């Protein structure tokens, strides 16, 4: 059975999504929680719709894994949330056909970048924004530049 998870995480304490040797990743954290529920019977591998860099957050990341045990797909969200740290939360767990793949079946991805353009950082926004203040940003010039990105684009070269 292929189980898809929609989840969110605060990436402040992670080195990104993908498992790495010398630091804690979201993938490693999620797979460890899954293994606890399967009693370490077999190695479970998760596949995400995309990867994030160190310190980057996700509000609606999607990943999947294959499982053949007794836990129903709809129970995985609650079961995992009881084992994951507060920085990671499963929003929903659903069943998908075996041909579905979190990365290859994704029909869109949305990214949000927040620039805080003020004299001083904001305590409540600082973890989720980039503080930039040398001069006021030119909103009109930024909108003109961003208009070039609207629509369907091929960002393959940025992989």
Q: Which active-site residues does the annotation give?
A: 53
Q: Does an H or E element contain 64, and which?
A: strand 58-66
How far apart CA 67 and CA 73 sit, in angstroms, is 9
Max CA distance (Å), the chain: 59
Cα-Cα-Cα-Cα dihedral sign, residues 149, 18, 78, 88: negative
What is the token pair recorded at 148? 């070039």
Residues 52/67/88/16 CA torsion (nearest 10 deg): -20
Q: Measure the CA–CA gap between 142 and 14, rounded to whole angstroms.
A: 30
Q: How many CA atoms lie within 13 A of 84 on its CB side?
A: 24
Contact in structure between 136 and 127 (CB atoms under 8 Å) = no
């Amino acid at each position: 059975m292929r189980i898809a998870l929609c989840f969110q995480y605060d990436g402040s304490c992670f080195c990104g999504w993908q498992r790495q040797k010398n630091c804690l990743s979201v993938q490693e954290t999620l797979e460890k929680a899954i293994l606890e529920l399967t009693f370490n019977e077999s190695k479970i591998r998760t596949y995400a719709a995309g990867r994030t860099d160190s310190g980057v957050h996700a509000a609606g990341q999607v990943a999947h894994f294959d499982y053949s045990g007794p836990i129903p797909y709809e129970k995985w969200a609650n079961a995992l949330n009881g084992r994951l740290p507060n920085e990671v939360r499963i929003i929903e767990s659903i069943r998908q056909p075996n041909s579905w793949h979190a990365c290859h079946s994704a029909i869109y991805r949305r990214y949000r970048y927040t620039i805080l353009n003020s004299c001083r950082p904001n305590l409540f926004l600082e973890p989720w924004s980039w503080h930039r203040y040398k001069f006021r940003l030119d909103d009109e010039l930024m909108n003109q530049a961003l208009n070039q990105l609207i629509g369907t684009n091929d960002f393959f070269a940025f992989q």
